[in-house]
Amino acid sequence: MRKLAILFLPLLAFVPPYADAQSKKSKNPYQIEFDRTRDVEQLTQSPDGAKKGIYVKVRFAITLDGANVDKLEDYKLVIEEDGQRVKEVDVPRPTASEDLSVMLALDTSGSMKEHGRMEQARTAAAAFLKKLPARSDCGLILFDHEVREKLAPIYERPPLLSQIQMVQPRGGTAYLDAASEGIETLRATRRGRDRAVVLVTDGLDLNSKKLIQQVIAEALRDRTRIYTIGIGEPGRFEPVTTVLALDRSGSMKPPASDTDTMSKIAALHLAAQRYVDSMSTAGRCSIIPFSSRVGTPSAFMDKAQAPALKANIKRLTPFGETAVFDAAYDAVCLFDADGAKGKRAVLAMTDGKDNSSRRGVEEVIARAKEAKVPLYMLGFGRPGEIDEDIMRQMANQTGGKYYHAKNKDALLEIFENLSIQLHDDGIDETALKRLAKETGGQYFPAKNVSELKLILEQVTNAIQREAFEITFESRFQVADGRVRDVTLKLIRKDAAGTDEVIESKTGAYISRGVVIAEMNYLVYLIILVVLGGLIALPALLRRTSVG
């Protein structure tokens, strides 16, 4: 009898998302996890080394959807080689593994301030860390538009909890970069441990430099699963068109406050560029500079054209007086010519009082209300130098809002938060599902933030895994260089003993060695006759010459 070697390799036992936790028993509770390109390997001897030959090692996992399966004997796993059955084994009940290295990547962007999300996330993270097995090490990544804090995996939980408790929400969202950083950090962990990144986010990824396909490739390369949790409702991806009316008057030369070291115009460069960086792929933007007169607006450009938008901002230099009313009026008029649908808004920033406009305040307000375009008015600098009452009136009567930035840091935060507010309308559920599915993890929706604690406890169960390798002697003991298919079938036997194939996954290996051609025996006979004739030919030639 061929020897069956059952070793340990990832077998995932997971609990379903909160929304499905109370559902009835699944009809097909098991699924095969199997990578056709990585999980089949040819060996040149039996697992114990006692016998030479062609053996095949198959790595696989069986996932359970959380239902209680009472009759495990009804389920079998069948392995076929080139369509012929070579093994049949029982499907075992999954048990938890404690050999884990985990990175918790937690979103700390500005939108986490809303609806008590940050506090709920702190409570949920504490429950997650507490529920992890003691033998599992865990690291931490806190991220907004960049990675803010990173702790490599450790067994102690208090240092992680301390960092989570101290962090305050700010900035945009770059969860793809955070996931990539988590994968990279786990690469240094002890070999043989199961690796997982648990990613919690409440918004669109507006700031990552990494693309989703790059992160997935990194996870597959390092055998790291990514479990994603999306807080809130799925985004509608509504088009967003905005105009930035930016003051470049002569008063923008000095710093905004006694503590700032850079000029107001330099601070504006940074803040407006941060706005562009935080736009979504559904966003478009135009820049209108103004001083004594309103400058020529740039074309509307999307996120892919961010370098050109940022270059237009960088070119702003201070001179002249202030015509903020005219700039706001012309910005509203741009939408008429553009004809864009979806969300629209004007962001007008100035550091002083209007002293050059031809348009009056009431005229600007009337035009904005007619076009249904809200005005977000930003005053930058010392309060006495800004006409805050007028700017507040313009914002309130058009459905916008007035902001005052007393220094560079406040201006950066306002521009960034406004970009997030306008562009981030929910989670990118499609991307989060893809990130999880293609790396062997799982996606968990948390539409209500109060569900987060329970969901993270479920994730703890999901990442604890047991797994298998099965090695069998190949039916084909000739190393002929051919591709051999290996198929794993999950079989359920009904009351009549009939096999029902629940799921089937196929991989392949190449039988390495010298290619041996297959020929009819008559070809071999002809070759032998020809060789015999060639051997006899010299003797025949000698006889002929002697005769």
285 is written with which tokens? 């933007």
Is residue 208 a part of any domain in this protein?
Answer: yes
Is residue 294 a part of any domain in this protein?
Answer: yes
Same domain, 73 and 181: no
- CATH classification of the domain holding 351: 3.40.50.410
Looking at the DSSP bridge assignments, the partners of residue 473 are 55
Same domain, 448 and 492: no
Same domain, 210 and 251: no
Same domain, 455 and 472: no
Same domain, 294 and 318: yes
Is residue 523 a part of any domain in this protein?
Answer: no
Question: In which domain, by residue range, is 21 found?
Answer: 5-95+466-510
- Alpha carbon of 307 to those of 268, 273, 495: distances in Å? 16, 9, 66
Same domain, 401 and 268: yes
Give the total number of structural domains in the chain. 3
* 0.75 surpassed by pTM: no
Residue type, 199: L
Same domain, 24 and 154: no
CB 246 within 8 A of CB 289: yes
Same domain, 320 and 357: yes
Is residue 113 a part of any domain in this protein?
Answer: no
Is residue 40 a part of any domain in this protein?
Answer: yes
- CATH classification of the domain holding 68: 2.60.40.10
Same domain, 267 and 309: yes
CB 173 within 8 A of CB 424: yes
Same domain, 148 and 230: yes
Is residue 372 a part of any domain in this protein?
Answer: yes
Is residue 542 a part of any domain in this protein?
Answer: no
CA 16, CA 350: separation in Å to the nearest integer?
52
> What strand order describes the sheet that includes 147-154?
147-154, 137-143, 100-107, 194-201, 224-231, 443-446
pLDDT per residue rounded down to tens, the chain (547 residues): 333 333 333 333 333 443 443 343 345 566 677 777 778 889 989 888 889 999 999 988 766 544 444 455 678 889 999 999 999 888 765 555 567 899 999 999 988 988 889 999 999 999 899 888 888 899 999 999 899 999 999 999 999 999 999 999 988 899 999 999 999 999 988 776 789 999 999 988 888 999 999 999 999 999 899 999 999 888 777 899 999 999 999 999 999 999 999 999 999 999 999 999 888 888 999 999 999 999 999 999 998 899 999 999 999 999 999 999 999 999 999 998 888 889 999 999 999 999 999 999 999 999 999 999 999 999 999 988 999 999 999 999 999 999 999 999 999 999 988 988 898 778 889 999 999 989 988 899 988 888 888 888 888 877 765 567 889 999 999 888 889 999 999 888 777 778 888 888 999 998 875 434 445 556 656 777 777 777 776 766 666 665 5
Is residue 536 a part of any domain in this protein?
Answer: no
Same domain, 244 and 381: yes
Same domain, 145 and 276: no
Q: Is 221 exposed, middle or buried (CB count within 10 Å of its CB: 0-12, 13-18, 19+)?
A: exposed
